[in-house]
Amino acid sequence: MKAITYLQFDGRAEEALAFYEKALLATKVKMVRFGDFGQDPITEEEQNMIMESRIEFSGNMLMISDVPPFMQAATGEITNGNTVLISIIDADPEINKQCFDGLSEGGTVIMPISSTPWSASFGILVDKFGIMWKFNSEASKFLDGYVG
């Protein structure tokens, strides 16, 4: 299981991604836009926002995404880079589910853990302390097979 630093933005993720890639001498590994998966109903502007991206530098990983208006109703207002989100990645969907269920006690499930077009095991929750958690299967299309 891996825990990864994950920064969220309100429409400036692409700008932040370019900034961190240059400043950290990083390599952009992946980038997926909301429109890549045909999410409905979202606007053209939201389709162009970054759903997830990943850069690597000096053996580290940083993930960056936008939180479009249609998601902010569930997750709360996003201030550029100041929202804490811990991304958990594990190859075993059962471990993802067990940890997801444990962290959801007393919290709020934003997206129940389930299979999606991009992952065998994906879910989002806010725990009882207000920390957002995103679970993703390591065998996901985003991490292993999708090159943006």
- List, for residues 87-121, the tens digit of each pLDDT value: 888 778 888 888 899 989 888 898 899 888 778 88
Q: Is 29 exposed, middle or buried (0-12, 13-18, 19+ CB in 10 A)?
A: middle
Name the CATH superfamily housing domain 2-145.
Answer: 2,3-Dihydroxybiphenyl 1,2-Dioxygenase, domain 1 (3.10.180.10)
Whether residue 117 is preceded by a cis peptide bond, meaning omega within 30 degrees of 0, is no
Beta bridge partners, 114, equal 122
CA distances from 93 to 24, 97, 138 (A): 32, 6, 9
Query: Which range is least confidently modeled, 26-35, 79-88, 89-98, 119-128?
Result: 79-88
For the stretch 54-64, pLDDT in tens is: 989 878 888 88
Tokens, residue 111: 């997206």
Domain layout of the chain by residue ranges: 2-145
31 pLDDT tier (thresholds 50, 70, 90): very high
Terminal CA-to-CA distance of the chain, rounded, Å?
Answer: 24
